[in-house]
Amino acid sequence: MKQSRKSYTVGIVGASGAVGEELLLILEERSFPIKKLILLASQRSVGKEMEFCGRKYPILETTPEVFARENIEIAFFSAGSNISKQYAQHAVDSGALVIDNTSFFRMQEDIPLVVPEVNPYDIVKNAKIIANPNCSTIQMVHVLAPLHKEFGIERVDVSTYQAVSGAGKRGMEELITQMQKFFAFDLNSVESEVFQHRIALNLIPHIDVFLDNDYTKEEMKMLNESQKIMHANFQLSATCVRVPILRSHSEAITIRFKKKVSADSARDILRNAENVVVIDSPNENCYPMPITATNTDSTFVGRIREDNFDKRILHLFCVADQVRVGAATNAVRIAEKWIQL
Ligand code: A2P
């Protein structure tokens, strides 16, 4: 691998959020070549500090001018679509590469949408903005792409079990507060602000807004984004469900291939897939669970089995840490590939 000696002025927009905090940890863990670090959030956070590599850094306000003033070369955006809409172009105009964690740019034709294990070739040196896919899509394509290469996918049906971290820090706090009220026998006084209903001890089959076709935007992201990343046009229908789990998403996936498949061959392929770990010994009660994946950078897959009726269909279960694999780690992996070009 070509080693890059250059180091960069890195900005994080939304540094104080769930993904922003994780970005800091991952940049430190992976010794990302940082010359200068600029932490950005809303005006509310000005005056606060965050730690990176044993040093405290002030949080600055996100403004149109800050990118040029601080000479930011790589800007990670993780503060929500509206903030990307408002500020990403200012970062680009000042010469920065924007790696955007929101949905704002993902489906724009001229913007690469990248999962480095799947379509690294879409990262180009002169890119101005590279979009980071939706969290549920990232872990799904980690599993689909290697199987597609071998057997050709015709159709995917996926049901998700998505952690509250997908709704940011406020989502996590809402679950924790509601669980505390449950243990204080006070669940009746619970108010839901982030989610449409009580999330503690409940499931909500509703993530993002409903569209005219009765699917949610989250469900349509899984179709549109996976086709764009994999450059393939298989069919896909999703049901996305919010579950009272703090930070790892799970997915039950049914895949129909163009060819006959066996569970053994799929296991072999997935064992060799980058950043995928197969845990599949049902007789020993071994399969992936949210607690397996939390705080890791891999997508875990198990329960791989053949369909009872159709030899072209496999069923499996995959889990990954939404904040890391589904957001921050993917973004840093994109940046690592980009600096190597
Ligand atoms: P702040 O902490 O100052 O509100 P999460 O996804 O965990 O909810 O985090 C959202 C992130 O987006 C936080 O860092 C938050 O900063 C940031 N953010 C929210 N509104 C703005 C804004 N108007 N300008 C810049 N950053 C913002």
Q: Are residues 264 and 150 located together in one domain of the fold? A: yes
Number of domains in the chain: 2
Q: Are residues 283 and 309 located together in one domain of the fold? A: yes
> What CATH number has the domain bearing residue 53?
3.40.50.720
The conformation of residue 327, written as its DSSP 8-state character, comes to I
Which residues are known catalytic residues?
135, 249
- Domain extent, residue 101, equals 8-132+327-339
186 within domain boundaries: no
Q: Separation of 213 CA from ligand 1 center, angstroms?
A: 31
103 within domain boundaries: yes
Collapsing DSSP states into helix, strand and coil, what is residue 79? coil
Q: Are residues 265 and 335 located together in one domain of the fold? A: no
Residues flanking ligand 1, CB < 6 Å: 14-18, 20, 41-42, 44-45, 62, 79-80, 83, 168-170
The DSSP bridge partners found for residue 118 are none
Q: Are residues 276 and 331 located together in one domain of the fold? A: no
Q: Are residues 208 and 316 located together in one domain of the fold? A: yes
Q: Are residues 151 and 40 located together in one domain of the fold? A: no
Per-residue pLDDT reduced to its tens digit, 136-181: 999 999 999 999 999 999 999 999 999 999 999 999 999 999 999 9
Q: Are residues 94 and 148 located together in one domain of the fold? A: no
Q: Are residues 156 and 230 located together in one domain of the fold? A: yes
Annotated binding site: 16-19, 44-45, 106, 162, 165-166, 242, 322
Residues present in the chain in total: 341
> What CATH number has the domain bearing residue 255?
3.30.360.10
Report the amino acid identity of residue 103.
Answer: S
185 within domain boundaries: no
Rounded Cα gap, residues 169 and 146, in angstroms: 33
Q: Are residues 141 and 63 located together in one domain of the fold? A: no
Whether pTM exceeds 0.95: yes
pLDDT tier, 188 (very low <50, low <70, confident <90, very high otherwise): confident
309 within domain boundaries: yes
**What is the sign of the dihedral through the CA atoms of 81, 87, 90 and 96?**
negative
13 within domain boundaries: yes
Q: Are residues 153 and 285 located together in one domain of the fold? A: yes
Atom of ligand 1 at shortest range from CA of 43: 3
Q: Separation of 88 CA from ligand 1 center, angstroms?
A: 15
Residues 6+ apart with CB under 8 A from 208: 216, 217, 218, 221, 240
198 within domain boundaries: no
Atom of ligand 1 at shortest range from CA of 167: 6
Q: Separation of 17 CA from ligand 1 center, angstroms?
A: 6
Per-residue pLDDT reduced to its tens digit, 205-215: 999 999 999 99
The pLDDT mean for the chain works out to 97
